[in-house]
Amino acid sequence: MIAVVQRVKESSVSIEGEIKSAIGQGLMILLGIEEADGPDDIEWLSRKIANMRIFDDEEGVMNKSLLDIEGEALVISQFTLHASTKKGNRPSYIKAAKPDIAIPLYEGFKQQLANDLSKDVGSGEFGADMKVSLINDGPVTIIIDTKDKK
- Cα-flanking dihedrals φ and ψ of residue 108, to 5°? -65, -40
Percent of the chain surpassing pLDDT 90: 93
Q: For residue 47, what pLDDT is reported?
A: 98
Q: Please state, rounded to an integer, the average pLDDT across all residues of the chain.
A: 96
Model confidence pLDDT, tens digit, residues 31-81: 999 999 999 999 999 999 999 999 999 999 999 999 999 999 999 999 999
Would you say residue 116 has pLDDT above 80? yes
Between residues 88 and 142, which one has the greater pLDDT? 142
**pLDDT confidence of residue 149:** 82
- Reported pTM: 0.94
Determine the Cα–Cα distance for residues 71 and 35; give it in Å rounded to an integer. 31
31 alpha-carbon distance from chain centroid: 4
Domains of the chain, residue spans: 2-148
Residues marked active site are found at: 78-80
Does residue 150 surpass a pLDDT of 80?
no
121: pLDDT strictly greater than 90: yes
Cβ contact 74:123 at 8 Å? yes
CATH classification code of 2-148: 3.50.80.10
Cβ pair 101, 38 in contact under 8 A:
no
CA distances from 83 to 11, 130, 139 (A): 24, 18, 24
| Residue 1 contacts residue 45 (beta carbons within 8 Å) | yes
